Amino acid sequence: MSDLVIVDYGAGNIASVKQAVWRAGWDAELSRGPDDLLSADRILLPGVGAAGTAMDRLRNGGYVEALSEAVRVRGTPMLCICVGMQLLAEELHEYGVHQGLGWVKGKVTRLEEAPGRRVPHMGWNKVYRPDGGAPPPPGILDRDTFYYFAHSYEMSGLDPAVLAGEADYAGPVPAALRTETVFATQFHPEKSQVEGEKLIANFMRWKV
Residue 180 falls in the annotated catalytic set: no
User: Which of 94, 166, 190, 197 does the annotation list as catalytic?
Assistant: 190
Residue 190 falls in the annotated catalytic set: yes
User: Which of 151, 166, 188, 197 does the annotation list as catalytic?
Assistant: 188
CB 156 within 8 A of CB 106: yes
Say how far apart CA 58 and CA 63 lie, in whole Å: 5
Q: How far is residue 113 CA from its own chain's centroid?
A: 23
Residue 98 falls in the annotated catalytic set: no
User: Which of 80, 82, 166, 197 does the annotation list as catalytic?
Assistant: 82
Catalytic residues: 82, 188, 190
